Amino acid sequence: MILKRLPLIILFLLVIPMIPRAISKSKLVDDVREKDSRRNYVIFMKDTQVGTLTSEFDGKTRFQGARAFKYRQKLDLDYTPLGHSYKTLVENDFYVNDTGLYLGNDMILTINNQTQELHLINSPDSLTGYSIQGGFRDEIKLPMEQKYFAADNFMVDQYELLLAFKDINIGDTIYDSIFVPQTKRLDAVQFSIDGMDWVRYGRLYDSAYVCRFIRPYEQTIYLTRDRKIIKMIQEAQRTEIILLESVFDRVAPKPPALTLSDIIKRLPLYLAYFLVGIIVILPFIKKHIKKPEIYIIFVLGAALYPLLKITLFPLQQWYGENVIVPGVEAGGSLYYYGLLSSLMVAAFHESFKLIPIALLNALRRPGRRSILVYGIFCGVGFGIYEACSLTGAAWQTGALKISSAPIIERFVAIVFHAITGAALGYGLYRGWKYLSGTWAVLILTHAFMLYIFVFLQKGFIDHPMLILINAFISLILLLVLFLVNKKT
């Protein structure tokens, strides 16, 4: 019996839930932002646009002879639309160490055509530097016995660093202190993680942690799972700062060309996915190892995934921009649109996996045992390519570790694709009428596994629970396939 070694796969699925928390503090600054990344924010006060903030991350550099990371910020404020003759332009080079703590800055501040400069250095036991105002230079030397995070008002990326190096757990209250460069003083920080919410910013939506600040002043910051601030609200001042992004950046960003250097850097992750694939196919390969068909269909399964980039991905872009965003803006339910999106993705995936299995079935007319094996190899190839494509870049930048929840989720997905591939093969063996029912059931099952991601975004479940549910569904599907095949 082809599935008699079922316990090996069951054991693999049962250890999947042993994963770390979904969002823990970052270890290094370059885990938070990619080198040469740029973020643009728009600032509203009383529903009127009054300014913009541009943040560019230059990555590693030297500051006062020490290793540092550099941010370049440009804050442009114009209160004229509110009836106030007040304009401010801040151009700032901001330096932090490996863990985001403040090292110093070089700031040029222009207020109504009056220019000031502020140059600060945070040495091991003091804050030194100087300011220039009205042509006069004032030396600065203040005691500072330790390093702190630093944040000026409106500087979203500076608050992003503060939050990136904190464990984010719903219900927690966090206390700290921050240095405020413009005032050259320390302020207390107190904020709580009130929950998660589905947040609109511009014409986009994302799930975000709600970080409610009491100190240094009352504000609410919305932080995504990838530690990006998409919105900041200061209720008392009726001020909103919103990240500007394109819907195409959110739905299907165009990745840079993959180089040999990228592949080498991602090789440990790729090998981990192949190891999972080997564990899955190991019980079935002994009697088929000399058959070229298993290798051909493995390659075909993997080769089909890139075709989604010219079929499913453009459709998702169109659906997101023309259906989901207008629908939710008009008061429609995210649960409804999430269901349609899940069905779309599931239908494409299961249909694409069916193509090489059906092709091989038509050419070779394999027996029941062989077509099940062909389906498994096709699904493993598809799942491995999908996993490498979805997580390779994040692994390379350090945003994901081998124990990160998204990677564990891909391990489960490889197993799931192998099981559904086998089920499609079995459906083909039983005939096209039987196949149509199998195909429909697999689409609905796959769509449900994708759909529960909406509940993750809404904060009803966490990432470990999502993975546990998907592993359980895969296990049930495997048992059903085992029983049906046994009775045939």
| pLDDT of 448 | 93
Give exposure, 360-381, as e/b (b: 16+ Cβ within 10 Å): bbeeeebeebbbbbbbbbbbbb
Cα(458)–Cα(472) distance, integer angstroms: 21
**β-strands 229-234, 239-244: how paired?**
antiparallel
- Give the H/E segment covering residue 65: none
DSSP state string for 363-425: HH---HHHHHHHHHHHHHHHHHHHHHHHHHHHHHHTS--TTSHHHHHHHHHHHHHHHHHHHHH
How far, in whole angstroms, is CA 223 from its chain's centroid?
Answer: 12
Does residue 38 sit in helix, strand or coil?
A: strand
For residue 303, the one-letter residue type is A
Task: Indicate the burial class of 130 (C-beta count within 10 angstroms; 0-12, 13-18, 19 or more).
Answer: middle
* 421 closest CA partner among 474, 459, 480, 375: 375
User: Is residue 220 a contact partner of residue 211, using CB atoms and an 8 Å limit?
Assistant: yes
- In this prediction, residue 19 carries a pLDDT of 33
For the chain, the structural domain boundaries read 6-24+252-487, 32-245
Distance, in Å, from the CA atom of 443 to the CA atom of 424, rounded to the nearest integer, reads 11
Residue 187 burial (10 A CB sphere; 0-12, 13-18, 19+):
middle
Token digits of residue 97? 């160490």
Query: Hey, how many other C-beta atoms are within 10 angstroms of the C-beta on 139?
Result: 8
Q: Are 23 and 404 in contact, with CB atoms under 8 Å apart? A: no
Report the pLDDT value the prediction gives residue 309, as an integer from 0 to 100. Answer: 85
Task: Tell me if 225 sits within 8 A of 405, measured CB to CB.
Answer: no
10-residue mean pLDDT profile of the chain (488 residues): values are 45 38 70 86 89 92 92 93 88 94 94 92 89 90 88 92 88 91 92 82 76 92 89 90 64 56 89 93 79 91 91 82 68 72 91 93 84 93 93 76 85 94 91 91 93 73 84 90 76
Could you count the other beta carbons within 10 Å of the beta carbon of residue 243?
A: 22
Strand 149-150, strand 173-180: pairing = parallel
Residue written as token pair 């080997």: 278
Token pair of 207, please? Answer: 């799930």
Integer-rounded Cα radius of gyration of the chain: 27
pLDDT at residue number 457:
62
Per-residue DSSP letter, 235: T
Contact (CB, 8 A) for 400 and 438? no
Angle between helices 368-397 and 260-285 (to 10 degrees): 150
At 16 the pLDDT is 37
Q: How far apart are CA 461 and CA 455, in angstroms?
A: 6
Pairing of strands 114-122, 126-133: antiparallel
Q: Quick one: pLDDT at residue 9?
A: 43
Identify the pLDDT of residue 6.
Answer: 44
pLDDT of residue 325: 64
In degrees and rounded to multiples of 5, residue 426 shows phi and psi of -65, -40
State if pTM tops 0.85. Answer: no
Chain centroid offset of residue 2 CA: 38
The HSE-up count of residue 299 (CA atoms within 13 Å, CB side) is 4
pLDDT at 22: 43
d(CA 426, CA 484): 9
Residue 142 is encoded by which pair of tokens? 């203040």
**Which residues are CB-neighbours of 324 under 8 A, at least 6 positions away?**
205, 337, 341
